[in-house]
Structure 1
Amino acid sequence: MPDPHAALPFSAAVHPDARPAARLTWDSREAGPDVAFVALPGETMHGNRFVDSALAAGAPFVLTDLDVPRAVRVPDAWAALKAWAQAERAKNRRVIGITGSAGKTTAKAYAAAALDAHFMPVFNTQPAIACFLVEFGASAGPLVIEMGIDRLGEMAELVELVRPDVGVVTAIGPAHLEQLSSIENIVREKGVILAGLRGLVGAQAAPFYPGVESYGFGDVKHAGQDLEVTPQGAHFTFDGIEVHLPLAARVQAEAAVLGLLLAREAGLDLAEAAARLSEVSVPGGRYRVHAGRFTVIDDAYNASPVAVSAALAALTGMPGRRISVLGRMLELGGTERELHAQVGQEARAKADLTYGVGAFAAELGERAFATVPELTAALLGEVRDGDVVLIKASRGISWTPEQRAQAGVGLDVVVDALLQLRDRVQLRDSASADGSGN
């Protein structure tokens, strides 16, 4: 519990009314009686503009350079937060850092389950990581931290902040190319997490890091055995332990191998770790399978070429008519049209029916639509019993709903529309079956 009256690793003037908090946030909208606010500089405005609203919401304290009630007053809020995070992290004996061009969140969820560890929530920015370390750094158990980058030099900053004992790279592919420029830069930047540490790389990333221990299936150092993927999920063995992952595919199974490897190295009971893995639930939009009259694979949280390729590979293992619905992948730089075309070619080879939407709709699918509403209307008129529909695109997280609709990103709305259609059909059929329909 972050306590402003405890010994702090930085000089601060602590207001007498400041009190301990359950957690920290840099988003004033999340501030409340148990959530303290850190006023950090942003791209367009400073968090100091929202200190009053955080205090009005009941924040136990605010970390700021302003002289206000319940202030932990410091010259530089970010420097203070970082120092606090590093001091708390130093109290923990085992921290796992995970990065990669795809699969970070999935690997984090499965590694944390196997280790029975505290883990990062959805956000993986430096402020989010710092707040997490202040909250959980002193925990007795291990920590699992997702470390995402989108610019040169950022991984070195994250490693300095997190100081992981184990560094993991899940996969390598074109992502954030507008800032990172090339695959070579991505490999080098991601690889900073491996330098001087216990390093592990996923099977897809292994060729980029010769000599680093690899995990997954096939020709890797730490391999799961007898992988079988069905519409019901994935099954394999590791070190003689059987593992069942409901509604999972190969990507999730590889993440589970990582988790079991880390659990074995930590001396944990592997059967108990495997049982925890079978109960993992990833956040919405990350390969979440919704089964029913037709199946919807919600993988719409984000997209890069390597992530879309993995999702399409999982789609091929599904029975029924396979439909891919793909939207624009952001931050691919000058090669974006070529990369979209390559993904679309793979989709045509692996799906029975392909849809594309947005700027590169024709590259992504045989049925191309300019906007998300147009796509949604067409798809709802096409889908039928037994179909399996994969939805994947980038989010455009800072965009308005109108911008997302026009650009062909943020396809979570398509997922929602499909599920509503499916549920209406199921409800209508159930009503007819029991005689209550008209």
Structure 2
Amino acid sequence: MLDPFAALPFAAAVHPEARAAQRLTWDSRGAGPDTAFVALPGEQMHGNRFVEQALAAGAPFVLTDLEVPRAVRVPDAQAALLAWARHERASNALVVGITGSAGKTTAKSYVAAALDALYMPVYNTIPAIACFLIEASGLGRPLVVEMGIDRPGEMAELMALVNPNVGVVTSIGPAHLEQLGSVERIASEKGLILQGRELALVGQQAAAWYPDAPSYGFAGAHWAGEDLTLTPEGASFRYPQGGGSGSVEVHLPLVARVQAEAAVLGLALAGWAGVPLQEAARRMAGVSVPGGRYRVLPGRFTVIDDAYNASPVAVKAALDALHALPGRRISVLGRMLELGPTERELHTEVGAYARQRADLTFGVGEFAAELGERAYRTVPELTEALLGTVQDGDTVLVKASRGISWTPERRAAQGVGLDTLVEALLGHRGD
């Protein structure tokens, strides 16, 4: 429980009606009888505007500078939240931080399963991480934290907050270029996660950027799985236990190489932390990644739902996975966000790669012609054409950015939203 009357690492005036909470939120819509509200400054408005809404919802307390019922009054709620999080993080003996241009969420899911750790399910913003560190304090389990960045200096801020024992970089490639400027800058910023920790690891795709860091993956990696087999039903490989005690057999249903690499990472960290590898492998076999992140949905034809987000390195990895599967392979690609002035060139490069790895290529929205031989302006037009094309035995990869990106000039760039296409394909299949 989060008791506002307990010793706090900051000066506060606690209202006598404040109560202990189980969780924290910076979004007033999530406040309730068990969830306290932190009133943070936002890009467009301050959280103080929603304090009354949080109190009406029953929030046990609110962290704010306002004099209101159940307030934990502080001069600066954001500074207090971060100080609280840094203080509570110290109670956890093992914290794994994961960053990369692609594959963070997948790696987080497999590492958490391998270590039987707590992890944040979706968000990876600084306020979300701070709330997670506070809520997880004292529970006696390892923590796995996804540490994504989209601006210079953000990783340094995250490192000061999370202070991970283990730092992992999954991959390096063009992403968030509008703020970070170049792939070299991305590698430099993300590489801060590898400095000064007990253990540093990098995925094989990122190894060229960090030649002094041990890598994980398959052939040629420092921590390597062996005899990888990929089928539409999933992946299988062996992982050496060391000390001449044989290998662990790993079976992962409905996954591709990127998930198998994440499982190798999980086993490497399990071995390092003294977790039995057989137990780690068993837990990882049950991992279910969030919707839109390379979910294989078999049926009359197979749909690969990877429509949550996209960057050039992630799209190419997904195309490689598609290419390894049998039958007619169809790629359906949409716009990748936050690529800066080189975005047309990068879309052209990815589209050329798609033509090499897939039998049919579809593109939609801006840069549709660059991404696919069959180009469509809108998702409904694409949907009608694709449903008239797909056949039994096909495999259809659906990948794009679906969110909203803000440029430095604050102009919104809208993602594609191909999740509706996935629903249409499953409906057409009769699911």
Match of 1:362 in 2: 369
Match of 1:385 in 2: 392
CA deviation vs aligned residue, 1:342-388 (integer Å, no higher than 9, x gap): 10001111111111011100000011011112112221222221111
* Residue 340, structure 1, aligned to residue 347, structure 2: yes
Task: State whether residues 372 and 408 of structure 1, in contact with CA within 8 Å, keep that contact through their aligned partners in structure 2.
Answer: no
Match of 2:244 in 1: none
Q: 2:315 aligns with which of 308, 312, 317?
A: 308
Q: 1:328 to 1:147 in 2, by over 3 A?
A: same
Structure 2 CA distance, aligned partners of 1:272 and 1:249?
21
Match of 1:178 in 2: 178
Q: Which amino acid aligns with 1:207?
A: A
Identity of aligned pairs, percent?
A: 73
Task: State whether residues 370 and 408 of structure 1, in contact with CA within 8 Å, keep that contact through their aligned partners in structure 2.
Answer: no
Match of 2:243 in 1: none
Task: State whether residues 150 and 180 of structure 2, in contact with CA within 8 Å, keep that contact through their aligned partners in structure 1.
Answer: yes
Q: Which amino acid aligns with 1:355?
A: F
Task: State whether residues 2 and 135 of structure 1, in contact with CA within 8 Å, keep that contact through their aligned partners in structure 2.
Answer: yes
Structure 1 CA distance, aligned partners of 2:405 and 2:68?
31
Match of 1:117 in 2: 117
Match of 1:374 in 2: 381
| Cα deviation, residue 138, structure 1 | 2.3
Structure 2 CA distance, aligned partners of 1:391 and 1:283?
15
Match of 1:42 in 2: 42
Deviates more, 1:376-385 or 1:364-373: 376-385
Structure 1 CA distance, aligned partners of 2:327 and 2:373?
19
- Unaligned segments of structure 1, at least 5 residues: 400-405, 427-438
Match of 2:409 in 1: none
Structure 1 CA distance, aligned partners of 2:26 and 2:384?
39
Structure 2 CA distance, aligned partners of 1:315 and 1:196?
38
SS across alignment from 2:85: helix
| Cα deviation, residue 137, structure 1 | 2.8
Q: How does 1:89-238 map to 2 (within 5 A)?
A: 89-197=89-197, 198-238=199-239
TM-score (norm 1): 0.94
* Residue 411, structure 1, aligned to residue 411, structure 2: no
Q: Which amino acid aligns with 2:151?
A: R
Match of 2:267 in 1: 260
CA deviation vs aligned residue, 1:3-54 (integer Å, no higher than 9, x gap): 1111100011111111111111111111111111111111111111111111
Structure 1 CA distance, aligned partners of 2:66 and 2:425?
49
Q: How does 1:275-286 map to 2 (within 5 A)?
A: 275-286=282-293
Task: State whether residues 358 and 408 of structure 1, in contact with CA within 8 Å, keep that contact through their aligned partners in structure 2.
Answer: no
Task: State whether residues 309 and 401 of structure 2, in contact with CA within 8 Å, keep that contact through their aligned partners in structure 1.
Answer: yes
CA deviation vs aligned residue, 1:179-198 (integer Å, no higher than 9, x gap): 00001100100001011112
Structure 1 CA distance, aligned partners of 2:72 and 2:422?
44
Task: State whether residues 362 and 374 of structure 2, in contact with CA within 8 Å, keep that contact through their aligned partners in structure 1.
Answer: yes
Task: State whether residues 358 and 407 of structure 1, in contact with CA within 8 Å, keep that contact through their aligned partners in structure 2.
Answer: no
SS across alignment from 2:156: helix
| Cα deviation, residue 148, structure 1 | 0.3
State the aligned residue count.
418
Q: Which amino acid aligns with 1:327?
A: G
CA deviation vs aligned residue, 1:123-173 (integer Å, no higher than 9, x gap): 100000000000003221110000000000100000000000110000000
Task: State whether residues 359 and 408 of structure 1, in contact with CA within 8 Å, keep that contact through their aligned partners in structure 2.
Answer: no
Structure 2 CA distance, aligned partners of 1:125 and 1:221?
31
Task: State whether residues 371 and 408 of structure 1, in contact with CA within 8 Å, keep that contact through their aligned partners in structure 2.
Answer: no
Task: State whether residues 402 and 415 of structure 2, in contact with CA within 8 Å, keep that contact through their aligned partners in structure 1.
Answer: no
Task: State whether residues 404 and 415 of structure 2, in contact with CA within 8 Å, keep that contact through their aligned partners in structure 1.
Answer: no
Structure 2 CA distance, aligned partners of 1:351 and 1:408?
23
SS across alignment from 2:216: strand
| Cα deviation, residue 397, structure 1 | 4.0
SS across alignment from 1:283: coil
| Cα deviation, residue 257, structure 1 | 0.5
| Cα deviation, residue 175, structure 1 | 0.2
Task: State whether residues 104 and 170 of structure 1, in contact with CA within 8 Å, keep that contact through their aligned partners in structure 2.
Answer: yes
Q: What is the alpha-carbon root mean square deviation over aligned residues?
A: 1.2
Q: 1:68 to 1:407 in 2, by over 3 A?
A: closer
| Cα deviation, residue 408, structure 1 | 5.7
SS across alignment from 2:388: helix
Match of 2:5 in 1: 5
Structure 2 CA distance, aligned partners of 1:25 and 1:108?
22
Task: State whether residues 338 and 405 of structure 2, in contact with CA within 8 Å, keep that contact through their aligned partners in structure 1.
Answer: no
Structure 2 CA distance, aligned partners of 1:32 and 1:397?
28
CA deviation vs aligned residue, 1:86-125 (integer Å, no higher than 9, x gap): 0100111110000000000000000000000001120100
Structure 1 CA distance, aligned partners of 2:283 and 2:403?
33
